[in-house]
A and B are shown apart, each in its own frame.
Chain A
Amino acid sequence: MTTATAVTAASTGNAGARVLRVLLTQRIALLAVLIVAVVITFFVQDAGGYLTAPYDFDYMSASLINAVPLAMLGLAELLVILSGRGGIDLSVGAIVSLAGMIFGFAYGEWGWPLWAAIVLTALFGALLGAVNGFLVSYIGFPALIATLATYYAYKSLAIVINNQEPISTPPIQKLFSISESVELPLFGQYVPDVPLGIFTFLLPTVVAVWLLLARTTYGRRLYAIGTNDVAARWSGLPVRDTRFKAYVYAGVLSGLVAVVTVGQFASARPDAGVSGNGMALPAITIAVLGGVAITGGIGRVSGVVLATLLIVWLNAGILLAFVGNEGSQYQLLALGAVLVFAALLNGLTNRRYGGTA
């Protein structure tokens, strides 16, 4: 997407220029086009017999289970980054580990009913998020530093709390049903089965965050403090309180992801959210790819959801295109390339059309 193509588009007529402008300024449109492109590419590859297993609607639907933690943490980062002043949360993965252990204790060892264990885990996530929020909003720590510190602290606690042992008692193992696919009622036989976690966790979260941002006073305040901290304070908004709550909500979402992750692994693992590359980096990547401005105040739920679908279906296709563990390596390449591309595109868009990303 260079200036040269932009010039050609403009000279071939108004329609071309308008399409380009929409693609560059409307992240939703760009993501939608990219998703269609990715899916068509893999369908063609599949038809040509280049993949190791069929890439069809059933496979795409089954791969959605990976979208659940990714999208929920992406939304957590959305809330925090929106709040501005360099807002970012590096600790989400460590919260997932630690809250997951708490869930493991409550549900797997203390024998709490499932709903009570989930509520406890969400509240515990909120508490961990509140520590971040307090440090950032009330004490004035840069978010990167505060959440780096709590990342280390939570990660360490999660490992020490149960002597590095995972919890996988029978009730925890039965939770695996979360990630199984179910047939939808009424018209279920005509469409692919969908992972249960989509309905129990992802959709309610997406709707709740969307309502929070688009339909409540709190949402408007969050955008206001992210756009201009000083102006918001002079307008009499409770700046500190609003920013504090953004980190608390991010903690709640991370707590819920902990439950999903425990279900997926059928075990509460002390390193669930921080092993390998961790969960925070992919979540931040998803948010940025979804058009969230790292400077705060700009970003939408739909962008994050579409960015998740793009990455999940791209990754699912890459897994089939390579043999063995090469697939997981090329996923890194894809994630990195897409992120750098999106970031450079944001810069270009800002210069060309002036700040509407």
Chain B
Amino acid sequence: MSVGTGALGRRRVLPAPVTGQEFVLVGVIALLWVALAVSTPAFLTAGSIQPLLVATAPVALVGVGMTIVIVTGGIDVSVGGAIMVCSVLTAKALVEAEVNLGVAVLLSVAVGGVLGLVNGVLIAYGRVHAIIITFGTANLFMFLGLRIFGSGTVNGIPGTLAFFGRGPDGRTLGVPHAFGITVLITAAAWWYLRHTAGGRHFFAIGGDAQAARLAGVRVQRRVLLAYLITGLLVGLASCFVIAQGTSTLDQSVGSGKELAVIAAVVIGGTSIMGGRGSVLGTLLGALLVQSVASGVTQLGWRSQLSDLFVGLFIIVAVGADLLRARARRNR
């Protein structure tokens, strides 16, 4: 992350548009894909890459919100529970009320927004550490989700959401809609975080909340907004999750997703201490994690082995960042 000089010799205020971590990630993903293509020829075909991109979408999408939350110095471990609530409600609406695509998406996003608002209000105005509140709300959301499930699964979900699925209905010109939408939202978030005052405020809060307040940032509202955005994205991601599955939704939906999302964000180079991060990195991080999972399966290894690689990637990604930070300090 080099600090460039502008035309007038002033130091650039904004960080570079693409960070070193992102270049490295692109390189690692490229290497991985080449290696997988060499060992299993079936990997670099549309039939293999398209499902990979579809599977990346929900984690990357929630990761965009999580990036903003972590940039403000917070964290949200309740997204797994929130995905459960949104997807089971939406699935029930699809089965019982036979709502159409638009209504289903709106419903899911609205529910996600409400859940995000609950987190945001408690964290921004309760002045309690985010991890504790979201551990608590994670339990509450899971309770809600399980209550809506009743006992058993939601069966016979119609194909209304096929637009986001892996089938031929879910693609335009070969690009899966779910992944395309995720890329568009990531790009919008990238521009918002980098080029608007509101976006920069998130970084200011994560850098030093007290200083941000003194500089006139309305810290509590910004923090609230970060969790609200995450909630809305969780709602949309839940639609992707339903679309990817079969016509049955079981009670394990969303379980463990919070850690998968945090892993993607961290591998993408966002600092867990707040104040520094990028949604592009998160998208690449999610893509890397999913590529590993897909690669492990295609190589015929035990699928749980991919978690070991996720753990190693986190260590390497964050370790490299720590070493760079140390080098910067010593310069």
How far apart sit A150 and B312, CA to CA, in the bound complex (Å)?
8
Which residues on the B side are within 8 Å of A146 (C-beta)? 315, 318
Asked if B103 is at the interface (CB within 8 A of a chain A CB), the reply is no
The answer to whether B315 touches A329 (Cβ under 8 A) is no
Asked whether A346 and B128 contact (CB < 8 A) given A151-B311, A156-B304, the answer is yes
A 316-349 binary contact with B (CB < 8 Å = 1; else 0) = 0000000011000110110111011001101100
B139: which of A144, A152, A163, A332 is its contact (CB, 8 Å)?
A332
Distance in Å: Cβ of A123 to nearest Cβ of chain B: 22
A344: which of B126, B147, B272, B273 is its contact (CB, 8 Å)?
B126
The answer to whether B136 touches A294 (Cβ under 8 A) is no
Asked if A139 is at the interface (CB within 8 A of a chain B CB), the reply is yes
Which residues on the A side are within 8 Å of B132 (C-beta)? 288, 294, 339, 343
The answer to whether A333 touches B143 (Cβ under 8 A) is yes
Asked whether A152 and B314 contact (CB < 8 A) given A332-B139, A344-B126, the answer is yes
The answer to whether A144 touches B128 (Cβ under 8 A) is no
Asked if B11 is at the interface (CB within 8 A of a chain A CB), the reply is no
A160: which of B266, B302, B315 is its contact (CB, 8 Å)?
B302
The answer to whether A340 touches B133 (Cβ under 8 A) is yes
Distance in Å: Cβ of B147 to nearest Cβ of chain A: 6
The answer to whether A336 touches B137 (Cβ under 8 A) is yes
The answer to whether B263 touches A148 (Cβ under 8 A) is yes
Which A267-286 residues have C-beta < 8 A from chain B?
A: 276-277, 281, 284-285
Asked if A243 is at the interface (CB within 8 A of a chain B CB), the reply is no
Interface residues on B, range: 35 or more
Distance in Å: Cβ of A154 to nearest Cβ of chain B: 8
Asked if B151 is at the interface (CB within 8 A of a chain A CB), the reply is yes
How far apart sit A160 and B310, CA to CA, in the bound complex (Å)?
15
Asked whether A333 and B311 contact (CB < 8 A) given A344-B122, A347-B127, the answer is no
The answer to whether B136 touches A339 (Cβ under 8 A) is yes
The answer to whether A164 touches B304 (Cβ under 8 A) is yes
The answer to whether A281 touches B135 (Cβ under 8 A) is yes
B 69-80 binary contact with A (CB < 8 Å = 1; else 0) = 000000100000
Which B132-163 residues have C-beta < 8 A from chain A?
A: 132-133, 135-143, 146-147, 151
Extra 10 A-B pairs, beta carbons < 8 Å, given A140-B326, A153-B308, A335-B136: A139-B322, A152-B307, A152-B311, A154-B311, A160-B302, A163-B302, A284-B135, A294-B132, A333-B143, A337-B140
